Structure 1
């Protein structure tokens, strides 16, 4: 992921600044990106998907309980 992002950033920089590869070596850009991403509060796709599944199950249970409560109140 970081390698792809670094490569895309280098390509964009090269488009904007023809001498970008000499000014910012790929290794340095990779290190800077890794440090910047480490400071961000990110989760992996797997963690996100797992939490989405938990939320869906919780929502389904809540809806079932609400229906049961309505049935009992009648």
Structure 2
């Protein structure tokens, strides 16, 4: 997800496009641009890099566990002899 610093930079760029005659409004515009950009990013339902990395680790552990269990089931199935009753 775009970080707070990135949003601030984009807001500053937008403010720099405002005509110099509206210099008094720059602070308010920057805050408004920042809020609008942050709100827009939240609506995209993005995750932070940290959240993504945590879920990647969880997935890796889950895959390893599934592989272990599949191997164990295969060994157990191989050890069971079919009954011919």
Query: Under a length normalisation based on structure 2, what TM-score does the superposition of the two structures give?
Result: 0.57
Deviant stretches of 4+, over 4 Å: 8-11
The corresponding residue for 2:54 is 50
Aligned residues: 69
Which of 2, 5, 17 is the equivalent residue of 1:20? 17
Does the aligned pair in 2 maintain the 1:10–1:26 contact within 8 Å? Answer: yes
Choose from 16, 38, 43 the match for 1:39. 43
Structure 2: 5+ residue stretches without partners: 79-85
If the length of structure 1 is used for normalisation, what is the TM-score?
0.63
Unaligned runs of 5+ in 1: 14-18
Q: Which has the higher contact order (CA 8 A, sep 6+)?
A: 2
